Amino acid sequence: MQGQNISDIIEEYLKRILADTHQIEIKRSEIAQLFNCVPSQINYVINTRFTIQNGYIVRSKRGGGGYIRIAKVNLVSDADVLDELIAVIGDDINSAQAFQIIQSLFEDGVLTRKEANLVLAAMDQRTLAFEDKRIENTVRARILISILNRLKYDD
């Protein structure tokens, strides 16, 4: 595990568990204690590595009996998940976030490598080389939402 930071190690640990069950329920304080880190480190990992863009749904309950539930989802098998993803994209999305979504669709087998590469080429920063980044991110979001809607309604 040399060269890995604590966030990478925690992410790997949670993904190993998810590989067997597709959904886990954890207590932030217990995981922090297991890895000898502060609970906010667990929040950071969950908020950055287990996003809808990466194919995960996270739900939590605060308080004494609180938990964090992480579920791996197939992005196109559930229209509600796609609708949530479209809502997250909103009116604009940067290239890194768009890449995460396309990578998740590829990993879930929804897109072939060739299809994923074509979509990435259409949304690339060099392709959408507008002087105004806001326009670039808006056009990228429109392209991605259109693709997701097509996937949602074309079986």
Whose tokens are 């959904």? That residue is 23
Q: Would 1 be classed as within a structural domain?
A: no
CATH code of the domain in which 117 resides: 1.10.1200.150
Give, in order, the Cα–Cα distances in Å from 31 to each of 7, 75, 108, 143.
Answer: 12, 27, 27, 39
pLDDT at position 131, please? 93
Q: Which domain holds residue 67?
A: 6-72
Same domain membership, residue 142 and residue 86:
yes
pLDDT at position 152, please? 75
pLDDT digits (tens, 9 = 90+) for 50-109: 988 888 889 888 776 678 999 988 666 667 778 888 998 999 999 999 999 999 889 888
Same domain membership, residue 92 and residue 28:
no
The number of distinct structural domains making up the chain is 2
Q: Residue 35, exposed/middle/buried by CB under 10 A (0-12, 13-18, 19+)? A: middle
**E strand or H helix at 123:** helix 113-123
pLDDT at position 3, please? 65
- With a cut of 70, say whether residue 146 has pLDDT above it: yes
pLDDT at position 102, please? 93
Whose tokens are 């590989």? That residue is 19
**E strand or H helix at 153:** helix 133-153
